[in-house]
Amino acid sequence: MNVAPALMYRAHSSLDVEDAALHFVEEELGRFDAKNNWETLKRKGVAETRIRAFLEALRLDNSPAEIATYLDRFFTERAGRWR
pLDDT tens, position by position, 2-52:
667 666 655 557 688 999 999 999 999 988 889 999 999 999 999 999 999
CA angle 1, 76, 67 (to 5 degrees): 35
What is residue 18's predicted lDDT score, i.e. its pLDDT? 93
* In the chain, domain spans: 12-77
Condensed to tens digits (0 to 9), the pLDDT of residues 60-78 reads: 999 999 999 999 999 998 7
What is residue 12's predicted lDDT score, i.e. its pLDDT? 56
